[in-house]
Amino acid sequence: MHAFGAEFAAPPGYLNTPSIGVPPAAVADAVAESVEKWRRGEARPYDFDAIVDRSRAGFARLIGVPADRVAIGASVSQLIANVATGLKDDARVLVAAGDFTSVTFPFAAHADRGITVTEVPQDQLASRVEGHDLVAVSVVQSADGSIADLAALRAAAEAAGAAVLLDVTQAAGWLPLDVAWADWVIAAGYKWLLSPRGAAWMAVHPRAHERTRPAAANWYAGGDDRWSSIYGLPLRLAEDARGFDLSPVWLAHVGAAEALEYLTSLDLAEVRAHDVGLANSLLGALGLPARDTAIVSLAADAGRMADAGVVSGVRDGKVRIGFHLYNTADDVERVLRAFE
């Protein structure tokens, strides 16, 4: 199908983007071409540097920061480890109850240093910031699509002098974002960003740079000419956010570079209107209130969903679906048939 200026091969009823997105044809083709070069022995490691630069720059444009603030990695938890490791002993971290464990586990793993992680309902985050050193939260919750009140959180964190880490994995790509103010902004690319699994990014605000530790310091995070300084000490890392880079999953960034250039060419307000419009129309047809989010969590039978031709996920005991670029009103009707 053709949607938002791209060709997609997503089958009718595919509503599982919160688990894994379907790439535009150009993204899949770029990865396939790179695989062919690899198969023919034509791939060269340094050829991927420019591709990683494109991926980094694409994520930077998407969230509105300079590219030199962005580090690359393979997963959210891997990148958050740089933040958790940099926390002082006995730091106090505030998180949303039930948030995705890739956000919370990297901090909880430091309990031996006296770091405490406190869970509160998402809608209470802003009112509970006082007394905490860091607030870490998914902008859009994986389980049910609820959206954090970022304006309230920002104001409360600034008043309390607390740092803020935002995971935008379930938001970036469909929700226009104003997050350049946050200390850290992290995302994985294989969901709404339509990229292969293995590409992730972390934007580091200048004020947070010294509080971020290279937990997995490696050759790729080296200085300006990494290829001429890959052996021996002393430690020499890039001075900007590249100093937190993890060695890239090459094929993942091949796809991500293409996908992010496509997504940043779109009007995300139009994407949001499309995605949320379909989600709200479904909720309205079921007699449920609109929630203005692309992710819908339903008390439904997963087997009946599958029988109706719906590809979905099950999270927190409910059927979870998500509407993105390649979905249509026909997908809404398929879900409704599962309730007949």
Statement: residue 99 has pLDDT above 80: yes
Statement: residue 224 has pLDDT above 90: no
Query: Which pLDDT score, from 0 to 100, does residue 223 have?
Result: 81
Rounded average pLDDT over 266-289: 98
Classify residue 188 by its DSSP letter: E
CA distances, 145 to each of 48, 77, 171, 291 (Å) = 35, 20, 9, 9
Task: List 222's β-bridge partners, or say none.
Answer: 237
Query: Which pLDDT score, from 0 to 100, does residue 280 have?
Result: 98
% pLDDT > 90, the chain:
96
Query: Which pLDDT score, from 0 to 100, does residue 204 have?
Result: 98
Which has more confidence, 273 or 301?
273
Rounded average pLDDT over 222-232: 87
Q: What's the rounded Cα separation, in Å, for the pair 170 and 67?
A: 21
Nearest to 137, CA basis, from 184, 180, 91, 92? 184
Rounded average pLDDT over 305-323: 94
Query: Which pLDDT score, from 0 to 100, does residue 319 have?
Result: 96
- Residue 239, class by beta-carbon neighbours within 10 Å (0-12 exposed, 13-18 middle, 19+ buried)? exposed
Rounded average pLDDT over 275-300: 97
Confidence of residue 229 (pLDDT cuts 50, 70, 90): confident
% pLDDT > 70, the chain:
100
Domains of the chain: 2-24+267-337 (3.90.1150.10), 45-263 (3.40.640.10)
Contact between residue 188 and residue 199 where contact means Cβ atoms under 8 Å apart = yes
Confidence of residue 225 (pLDDT cuts 50, 70, 90): confident
Contact between residue 298 and residue 321 where contact means Cβ atoms under 8 Å apart = yes
Rounded average pLDDT over 23-46: 97
Query: Which pLDDT score, from 0 to 100, does residue 309 have?
Result: 95
Q: Which residue has the tokens 């106090």?
A: 92
Contact between residue 326 and residue 22 where contact means Cβ atoms under 8 Å apart = yes
HSE-CB for 148 with a 13 A CA cutoff:
34
- Residue 61, class by beta-carbon neighbours within 10 Å (0-12 exposed, 13-18 middle, 19+ buried)? middle
Radius of gyration of the chain (CA): 20
Query: Which pLDDT score, from 0 to 100, does residue 228 have?
Result: 86
Nearest to 187, CA basis, from 165, 207, 206? 165
Confidence of residue 36 (pLDDT cuts 50, 70, 90): very high
Q: What's the rounded Cα separation, in Å, for the pair 260 and 321?
A: 23
CA distances, 57 to each of 64, 69, 97, 210 (Å) = 10, 10, 33, 22
Q: Please state which of the ranges 71-85, 163-177, 178-192, 211-225 shows the lowest mean pLDDT.
A: 211-225
Query: Which pLDDT score, from 0 to 100, does residue 179 have?
Result: 98
HSE-CB for 67 with a 13 A CA cutoff:
7
Task: List 237's β-bridge partners, or say none.
Answer: 222
Catalogue the long-range contacts made by 211-216 (C-beta closer than 8 Å, 24 or more residues apart).
Answer: 211/83, 211/86, 211/87, 211/163, 211/183, 212/82, 212/83, 212/86, 212/184, 212/244, 213/82, 213/85, 213/86, 214/82, 214/243, 214/244, 215/81, 215/82, 215/84, 215/85, 216/78, 216/81, 216/82, 216/246
Query: Which pLDDT score, from 0 to 100, does residue 106 have?
Result: 98
Q: For 177-222, how does the pLDDT look when each residue is reduced to its tens digit (9 = 90+)?
A: 999 999 999 999 999 999 999 999 999 999 999 999 999 999 999 9
Q: Could you write out the DSSP letters of every residue in 28-41?
A: HHHHHHHHHHHHTT
